[in-house]
Amino acid sequence: MDTENKHIVPIELITRFLANEASVNERTQVEDWRSAASENEKEFQSIRKLWNVSATLGKKEEIDIDKEWQIMDKAITPAKGRVISLARVIQIAASLLILVTLSFLVIQQSKTISQKTAVAEVTQVTLPDGSIINLNANSKITYGKDFGTANREITLKGEGFFEVVSNKNMPFIISAQGATIQVLGTQFNVKAYKNQEEVKVTVIEGVVELSEAKQPTKKTVLLAGETGIYMKKKKAIKKKPSNDLNDISWKTKYLSFENTPLNQVIDILNNTYHKDFVVDNKVKDCKVTVAFRDKDLASVLKVLKSTLELHITLNNQVFYITGEGCQK
């Protein structure tokens, strides 16, 4: 095992674990780290104790830094005739820092509400103002407890289809991977996964304003039938007609392909049905022209198999697609 990586676990990940908000993969990461070395387990148990203390501090909704520093100062000031080592000073200071950090995180969590979906789950969330969000797989929304009364601000990680209740006095604002989406009341889809280079907003109804979070003046107005794309690296926004029905196929279950390479088809199937695929290079460029409406994955794969003469096998929840290739 790589000993240099045994201790690399972000404190935020451990706090999510302790707060029972970690995903399956995140929990596995923490457990693997704990079992990698006895020092890791000791460190985890120390943080767990600090977490329990910080939870009590969090109920006060404030941290008395001066008081905590006085406690630490007494701890590191040796009694008469006693010498305290530099290592002990550093250990106590680090413990105080973790305690304050954990307390801050507990307080922040107490002021927010989160909803998340699993890797292969789609769920519907009704917000306090009556707006509805359909969350695609592996997605999360976070909003304050004062949502709907003081503001309508929300953070999205992943993909969601929004049906926003109209409120001219309180705009609905979404923060999503460096982009900001603002509306008064409308229907639209936002795709903003962390591992993807673009944030895509597809408007179904109404008007949506898409801007860069750090430069609000850099914005684009999107109307029904238009898609806005925020490019993370370039920090630029472009607009185009929404002529790709597959942008929201995960919700509508309507797919349409016209001379589309098989590997692109599979990417859309992955986002729609939440299954993993491995496509052989021989067939990845085979072109597909077909449409599906309200079909399950088995029916879709059956058509693709017969149309392109593919071999499709399922092993450990992964579909392997092979074949002899296609005529160019």
Please give the residue range of the domain that contains residue 22.
Answer: 3-110
Q: Do β-strands 153-163 and 172-176 pair in parallel, antiparallel, or remain unpaired?
A: parallel
**Torsion angles phi and psi, residue 104, rounded to 5:** -65, -45
> What's the pLDDT at 106?
53
Same domain flag for 131 and 203: yes
Same domain flag for 39 and 101: yes
Same domain flag for 201 and 272: no
Kindly give, in sequence order, each residue whose CB lies less than 8 Å from that of residue 111, ignoring residues fewer than 6 positions away: 144, 145
Residue 288 to residues 13, 196, 245, Cα–Cα distance (Å): 42, 24, 15
Rounded to an integer, what distance in angstroms lies between the CA atom of residue 102 and that of residue 96? 10
Rounded to an integer, what distance in angstroms lies between the CA atom of residue 277 and that of residue 297? 12
**Of the residues 85, 110, 135, the one at which a domain ends:** 110
What average pLDDT does the segment 141-154 reach? 91
Reported as a single tens digit per residue, the pLDDT across 179-230 is: 999 998 899 999 999 989 999 999 999 999 999 998 888 899 999 999 999 9
Q: How many domains does the chain have?
A: 3
Reported as a single tens digit per residue, the pLDDT across 272-325 is: 999 999 999 999 999 999 999 999 999 999 999 999 999 999 998 899 999 988
Rounded to an integer, what distance in angstroms lies between the CA atom of residue 176 and that of residue 192? 6
**Of the residues 66, 93, 110, the one at which a domain ends:** 110
**Of the residues 95, 110, 125, the one at which a domain ends:** 110
pLDDT at 83 over 70: no
Reported as a single tens digit per residue, the pLDDT across 26-47 is: 778 888 888 888 888 887 877 7
What is the band of 108 on the pLDDT scale with cuts at 50, 70, 90? Answer: low
Same domain flag for 123 and 225: yes
Same domain flag for 205 and 308: no
Closest CA to 179 of 203, 200, 158, 163: 200
Rounded to an integer, what distance in angstroms lies between the CA atom of residue 23 and that of residue 16? 9
Look up the pTM and report it: 0.67
Same domain flag for 204 and 134: yes
pLDDT at 13 over 90: no
Same domain flag for 145 and 210: yes
CATH number of the CATH domain containing 232 = 2.60.120.1440
Closest CA to 133 of 167, 170, 172: 172
